[in-house]
C-alpha cells in the first residue's frame, strides 16, 4: 500500500509542475501522445505508450513532463514464456534547439517496475523496484505534428534477483513515435 501512495504523490507532483503557470511568454503548450519501443540491451523488448506535455508558461517546447508505460506483455512476452514485466515511468525532458528539425534531448525518468514471475516457486525473488534512469538522444520533428525520438538510457537502480529485481538491466535504447494532439 505504501508503494501505491508514493506513486500517487509522484503523479500529483508531476501534474502540478506541468500545469502550474510561471511566466507567460506567448508560446504554445504542446501535448504529444505516442507509442514507445524499448529494447533492454541483451534482454527484452518492452513496448507501450508515452505522453509528453510542455506548458506555454513554463519553458514552452523545451521543458516537457511526461509519463510512459512500457511492458514486455506488448513485446518479448507475446506468445512466449518471457517474464511479464511492467514499467511505469514519469519523466522530465529538456529539448535543445527550438524551431529546428533535429533537436538533442536529455531526459530523467523515475518510476516503478513490477515483474510477474507467475510461478509460486519464484515468490522468494524480488519482483519490484524503483526506477531512476537518465537518457540522452535526439528528436526529429517534422513540419507536420509528428515526432520521432531516439535515446539511449541507463537504469541507475538494478538488481541481481537476491537484492532488487533481477530483470532490470542497466542499458536500454528506446524510440518513441508521437503525434502532437494540440498546440495552444
pLDDT-based confidence at residue 156 (cuts at 50, 70, 90): very high
Distance from the first to the final alpha carbon of the chain: 38
- 169, pLDDT greater than 90: no
C-alpha 176/C-alpha 9 separation (Å) is: 26
Q: CB within 8 A of 34, min separation 6: which ones?
A: 49, 50, 51, 147, 176, 177, 178, 179
pTM of the model: 0.80
Amino acid at each position: 500500500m505504501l508503494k501505491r501512495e508514493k506513486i500517487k504523490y509522484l503523479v500529483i507532483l508531476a501534474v502540478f509542475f506541468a500545469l502550474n503557470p510561471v511566466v507567460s511568454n506567448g508560446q504554445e503548450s504542446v501535448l504529444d501522445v505516442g507509442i514507445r519501443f524499448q529494447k533492454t540491451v541483451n534482454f527484452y523488448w518492452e513496448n507501450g505508450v508515452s505522453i509528453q506535455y510542455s506548458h506555454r508558461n513554463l519553458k514552452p517546447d523545451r521543458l516537457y513532463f511526461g509519463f510512459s508505460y512500457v511492458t514486455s506483455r506488448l513485446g518479448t512476452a507475446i506468445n512466449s514464456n518471457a517474464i511479464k514485466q511492467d514499467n511505469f515511468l514519469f519523466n522530465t525532458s529538456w529539448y535543445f534547439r527550438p524551431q529546428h528539425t533535429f533537436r538533442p534531448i536529455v531526459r530523467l525518468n523515475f518510476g516503478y517496475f513490477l515483474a510477474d514471475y507467475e510461478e509460486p516457486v519464484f515468490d522468494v525473488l524480488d519482483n519490484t523496484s524503483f526506477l531512476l534512469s537518465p537518457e540522452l538522444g535526439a528528436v526529429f520533428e517534422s513540419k507536420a505534428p509528428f515526432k520521432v525520438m531516439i535515446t539511449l538510457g541507463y537504469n541507475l537502480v538494478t538488481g541481481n534477483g537476491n537484492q532488487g529485481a533481477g530483470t532490470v538491466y542497466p542499458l536500454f535504447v528506446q524510440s518513441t513515435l508521437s503525434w502532437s494532439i494540440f498546440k495552444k
